[in-house]
Amino acid sequence: MTISSSLNAGVAGLAANATRLATISDNIANSSTNGYKRVETDFSSMVIASNGGTYTAGGVRTTTQRLIDESGALVGTTNATDLAIRGNGFLPVAEATEVAAGNGSAQMFLTTTGSFRVDSDGYLQTESGLMLMGWPAGADGTVPTYPRDTSASLEPIRINLNQFSSEPTTSILMGVNLAASETYSDASGDPVDLSVEYFDNLGRSEQLTATFTPTIPASGSSNEWTVTISDSATAAASNPIAEYTVTFDDTRGAGGSITSVTTVSGGAYNAATGSMVVTVDGGPIELTIGAPGSSAGLTQVGEKFQPLNISKDGSPVGKMTTVEVDENGFVHALFDTGITKIIYQVPLVDVPNANGLVALDKQIYMPSTDSGSYFLWDAGDGPVGDVVPFAREESATDVANELTAMIQTQRAYSSNAKVIQTVDEMLQETTNMKR
Q: Which pLDDT score, from 0 to 100, does residue 427 have?
A: 82
Q: Which pLDDT score, from 0 to 100, does residue 45 have?
A: 85
Kindly report the backbone phi and psi dihedral angles of residue 184, in degrees, each rounded to the nearest multiple of 5, phi listed first.
Answer: -75, 160
- pLDDT (mean) for 64-92: 95
pLDDT per residue as tens digits for the range 204-253: 899 999 999 999 999 999 999 999 999 999 988 889 999 999 999 999 88
pLDDT per residue as tens digits for the range 387-403: 999 999 999 999 999 99
Kindly report the backbone phi and psi dihedral angles of residue 185, in degrees, each rounded to the nearest multiple of 5, phi listed first.
Answer: -65, -25
Q: Which pLDDT score, from 0 to 100, does residue 131 have?
A: 96
| Least confident window among 19-23, 136-140, 176-180 | 136-140
Q: Which pLDDT score, from 0 to 100, does residue 141 have?
A: 85
Q: Which pLDDT score, from 0 to 100, does residue 429 have?
A: 76
Q: Which pLDDT score, from 0 to 100, does residue 59 have?
A: 82
- pLDDT (mean) for 60-80: 93
Q: Which pLDDT score, from 0 to 100, does residue 53 have?
A: 67
Q: Which pLDDT score, from 0 to 100, does residue 340 have?
A: 86
Q: Which pLDDT score, from 0 to 100, does residue 203 have?
A: 83
User: 184 - beta bridge partners?
Assistant: 221
Q: Confidence band (pLDDT; 50, 70, 90) for 52?
A: low
Contact 371, 353 (CB under 8 A): yes
Which fold would CATH assign to domain 169-313? Answer: Tick-borne Encephalitis virus Glycoprotein; domain 1 (2.60.98)
CA dihedral 357, 146, 139, 384 (to 10 degrees): -50
Q: Which pLDDT score, from 0 to 100, does residue 345 have?
A: 96
Kindly tell me if the per-residue pLDDT of 42 is higher than 80: yes
Q: Which pLDDT score, from 0 to 100, does residue 17 have?
A: 92
Sequence-separated (6 or more) residues with CB below 8 Å from residue 411 = none
pLDDT per residue as tens digits for the range 153-191: 999 999 876 667 778 899 999 999 999 999 999 999 999
Q: Which pLDDT score, from 0 to 100, does residue 161 have?
A: 66
Rounded to the nearest angstrom, the gap between the alpha carbon of residue 1 and the centroid of all alpha carbons in its chain is 65
User: Which of 398, 354, 394 is closest to 372 using CA atoms?
Assistant: 354
Q: Confidence band (pLDDT; 50, 70, 90) for 58?
A: confident
Kindly report the backbone phi and psi dihedral angles of residue 430, in degrees, each rounded to the nearest multiple of 5, phi listed first.
Answer: -65, -40
Q: Which pLDDT score, from 0 to 100, does residue 51 have?
A: 66
Other beta carbons within 10 Å of 106: 23
Q: How far apart are CA 14 and CA 404, in angstroms?
A: 18
Q: Which pLDDT score, from 0 to 100, does residue 102 have?
A: 78
pLDDT per residue as tens digits for the range 364-376: 999 999 999 999 9
With b for 16 or more beta-carbon neighbours within 10 A and e for fewer, the 207-237 pattern comes to: ebebbbbbbbeeeebbbbbbbbbbbbebeee
Q: Which pLDDT score, from 0 to 100, does residue 50 have?
A: 66
For a pLDDT cut of 90, what percent of the chain falls above it?
A: 70
Kindly report the backbone phi and psi dihedral angles of residue 433, in degrees, each rounded to the nearest multiple of 5, phi listed first.
Answer: -65, -25
- pLDDT (mean) for 299-306: 92
Domain with CATH 2.60.98.20 in the chain: 169-313
| Least confident window among 75-79, 301-305, 315-319 | 315-319
Strands 74-76 and 82-86: unpaired
Q: Which pLDDT score, from 0 to 100, does residue 292 have?
A: 93
For a pLDDT cut of 70, what percent of the chain falls above it?
A: 97
Other beta carbons within 10 Å of 36: 22
Q: What is the 3-state secondary structure (H, E, C) of the chain?
A: CHHHHHHHHHHHHHHHHHHHHHHHHHHHHCCCCCCCCCEEEEEEECCCCCECCECCCCCEEEEEEECCCCCCCEEECCCCCEEEEECCCEEEEEEHHHHHHCCCCCCCEEECEEECEECCCCEEECCCCEEEEEEECCCCCCCCCCCCCCCCCCEECECCCCCEEEECCCEEEEEEEECHHHHECCCCCCCEEEEEEEECCCCCEEEEEEEEEECCCCCCECCEEEEEEEECCCCHHHCCCEEEEEEECCCCCCCCCEEEEEEEECCCCECCCCEEEEEECCEEEEEECCCCCCCCCEEECCCCCEEEEEEECCEEEEEEEEEEECCCCEEEEEECCCCEEEEEECCEEECCCHHHCEEEHHHEEECCCCCCCCEEECCCCCCCCEEEECEEECCCCCHHHHHHHHHHHHHHHHHHHHHHHHHHHHHHHHHHCCC
